[in-house]
A and B are shown apart, each in its own frame.
Chain A
Amino acid sequence: NAGVTQTPKFRILKIGQSMTLQCTQDMNHNYMYWYRQDPGMGLKLIYYSVGAGITDKGEVPNGYNVSRSTTEDFPLRLELAAPSQTSVYFCASSYSIRTSGGRSSYEQYFGPGTRLTVT
């Protein structure tokens, strides 16, 4: 298994440009996530998805859009890029199952990250 893959690895955007960060996982995970990590800081959740066709906002969704048309893919779209979106973006996936006691979460696997600079 390749796990979670992300493209591109690096990108420089001009202010106002748009781009899509690609994320694919081959582990048949139902949950997928997008985080951003600013230098020296923690992980902030942008959007997440609990399955194909379902997405939800995280802590910092403004300026981003997502879609989940398949189990494997979860692209993140930046419209009208701004310097504040300069960051490292991580995609992640995990498996969650329903049990008699509720839902159980399992390990969250991260992709290698995309380093984005907006100038």
Chain B
Amino acid sequence: GENVEQHPSTLSVQEGDSAVIKCTYSDSASNYFPWYKQELGKRPQLIIDIRSNVGEKKDQRIAVTLNKTAKHFSLHITETQPEDSAVYFCAASIRGNTPLVFGKGTRLSVIA
């Protein structure tokens, strides 16, 4: 089955700097790649997603890139703010008919 690896497990950045989180997946049939943000004590919430027919997607300070050949995708957060501090999860879905497989998460701390 699909396996999703996520790195790093923890990341600290200064406010205003950029943060990058990387994920790799194993099954080339995966076609949907969402990113979730989970604040302490809250539910995971989708922040951005990308499909296999697109290489990059942006939404204000957040962007996701996908390299299908290398089977990896990355989350980029620019101009980080303290409210970006949270745990971020990447995920992948095979052909849209199996449940999402999640990475183990990255704890991002933005230091003011």
Q: Which residues of A contact B (CB under 8 A)?
A: 31, 33, 41-43, 45, 48, 50, 58, 90, 96, 102-105, 107-113
Contact = CB atoms under 8 A, between A and B. Distances in A.
B104 A105 contact: no
A111 B43 contact: yes
Contacts of B96: 96, 102-105
Interface residues of B, number: 21
Nearest to B95: A102
A102 B31 contact: yes
Contacts of A42: 89, 102-105
Interface of B: 31-32, 34, 42-46, 49, 51, 89, 93, 95-97, 99-100, 102-105
12 contacts: A42-B104, A43-B44, A45-B99, A96-B96, A96-B97, A105-B93, A107-B34, A107-B49, A109-B46, A110-B43, A112-B43, A113-B43
Given A105-B32, A105-B96, 6 more contacts: A33-B99, A42-B104, A104-B32, A107-B46, A108-B100, A113-B43
A83 B105 CA distance: 24
A90 B102 contact: no
Contacts of B100: 105, 108
A112 B38 CA distance: 11
